[in-house]
């Protein structure tokens, strides 16, 4: 997960981006503190505790939709913190009478959907990504392949979104199926192999790993489109078939070269990794 801070009218809002499920999670108490205009964090926690009790009593699903993640506190330590998605918070705001309700709803709509906004303006987001990778010393060839792979990924997730696949857990399940089929390891196992924790796996793939990932996802989308796959059952079948097409190509390449495509190499700084991709 990628840790981040967002700012609303000078107030820091803790948030995490889960790259596997492609979801932003925001600290609920931070939002409540802004809504209640309460400078005391403990008081904001108590307000949220009372509000949770009332919502549960009313049979609301809002509290059920919240999650818990470790987030840094004022003392610098990480504590389990209740978090929610932008969608849940937009509904939660309705339960708190506050002059900040409308401004924070607009703010949530903006920061909660940054990824969607970038997809709507791919030239801007791709240019930003290219600049970041150049600063990190990636080769022009690697950057081109990474960007091409991301475009392929976006087309696949667009298809899923339009065919009854829920963004989040279901995206992650299908992604893992594709990855397991083509590479022989799941996403988490691949990250562990490379010594990654919160980092994005694709940002630490070799050129070959990127190419086979893109082939698997391209194949999956085209197969899904050919049969108009809808829902999890049909898209799981397409994911398995698409992944196997890339697996066949991977095995053939490995047989010819004697080199494994899936490697433990990464782009971590020397202090974090013994070996980097060159």
Cβ proximity of 246 and 219 under 8 Å:
yes
Asked if residues 55 and 96 have their Cβ atoms less than 8 Å apart, the reply is no
Mean pLDDT, rounded, for 174-184? 97
pTM of structure: 0.60
The pLDDT of 27-35, averaged and rounded, is 92
Please give the full DSSP string across 44-57, using - where no structure is assigned: HHHHHHHHHHHHHH
pLDDT on residue 115: 53
Percent share of the chain, pLDDT over 90: 49
CA angle 68, 74, 78 (to 5 degrees): 40
Supply the Cα-derived Rg of the chain in whole angstroms.
21
Query: What are 48's two structure tokens?
Result: 């949220």
Specify the CATH number of the domain 2-112: 3.10.260
What tens digit of pLDDT does each residue of 102-113 get? 888 888 877 655
The b/e string for 216-246 (b: 16+ C-beta within 10 A; e otherwise) is bbbbbbebbeeeebeebebbbbbbbbbbebb
The closest of 10, 44, 6 to 24, measured between CA atoms, is: 6
47 CB neighbour count, 10 Å cutoff:
18
Q: Domain ranges in the chain?
A: 2-112, 120-257
Residue 275: the pLDDT is 45
Give yes or no for residue 91 having a pLDDT over 60: yes
Say whether pLDDT at 72 is over 80.
yes
Least confident window among 43-52, 114-123, 226-235, 241-250:
114-123
Instruction: Tell me what the mean pLDDT of segment 79-86 comes to.
Output: 90
Check residue 29 and give its pLDDT.
Answer: 93
Q: Exposed, middle or buried, 18 (CB in 10 Å: 0-12/13-18/19+)? A: middle
C-alpha 259/C-alpha 181 separation (Å) is 19
**pLDDT in the model for residue 30:** 92
Candidate ranges 6-20, 122-136, 156-170; pick with highest mean pLDDT:
156-170
Enter the DSSP assignment of 202.
G
Instruction: Report the pLDDT value the prediction gives residue 274, as an integer from 0 to 100.
Output: 42
Report the pLDDT value the prediction gives residue 82, as an integer from 0 to 100. Answer: 93
Average pLDDT taken over every residue of the chain: 86
Both tokens assigned to 128: 């930003």
Partners of 80 in the beta sheet? 70
Element containing residue 68 per DSSP (H, E): strand 67-72
**71: which 2 tokens?**
């987030």
Which two three-digit tokens encode residue 165?
């696949």
Q: Lowest mean pLDDT of 39-43, 83-87, 99-103, 113-117, name the range.
A: 113-117
Residues 191-248 have pLDDT tens digits of 999 998 767 899 999 999 999 999 999 999 999 999 999 999 999 999 999 999 999 9
pLDDT at 1: 47
């Amino acid at each position: 997960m990628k840790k981040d801070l967002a700012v609303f009218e000078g107030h820091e809002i803790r948030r995490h981006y889960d790259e596997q499920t492609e979801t932003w999670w925001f600290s609920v108490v931070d939002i409540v503190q802004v809504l209640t205009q309460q400078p005391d964090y403990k008081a904001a926690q108590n307000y949220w505790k009372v509000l949770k009790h009332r919502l549960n009593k009313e049979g609301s699903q809002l509290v059920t939709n919240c999650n818990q993640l470790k987030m840094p506190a004022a003392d610098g330590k990480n504590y389990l913190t209740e978090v929610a998605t932008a969608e849940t918070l937009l509904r939660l705001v309705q339960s708190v009478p506050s002059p900040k309700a409308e401004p924070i709803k607009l703010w949530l709509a903006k920061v909660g959907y940054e990824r969607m906004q970038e997809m709507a303006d791919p030239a801007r987001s791709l240019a930003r990504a290219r600049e970041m990778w150049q600063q990190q010393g990636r080769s022009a060839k690697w950057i081109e392949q990474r960007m091409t792979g991301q475009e392929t990924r976006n087309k696949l997730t667009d298809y899923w979104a339009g065919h009854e696949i829920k963004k989040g857990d279901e995206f992650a399940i299908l992604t893992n199926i594709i990855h397991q089929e083509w590479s022989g390891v799941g996403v988490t196992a691949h990250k562990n192999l490379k010594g990654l924790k919160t980092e994005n796996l694709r940002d630490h793939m070799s050129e070959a790993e990127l190419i086979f990932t893109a082939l698997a996802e391209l194949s999956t989308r085209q197969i899904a489109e050919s049969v108009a796959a809808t829902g999890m059952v049909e898209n799981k079948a397409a994911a398995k078939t698409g992944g196997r097409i890339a697996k066949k190509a991977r095995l053939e390449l490995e047989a010819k070269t004697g080199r494994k495509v899936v490697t433990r190499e990464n782009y971590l700084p020397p202090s974090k990794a013994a070996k980097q991709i060159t």
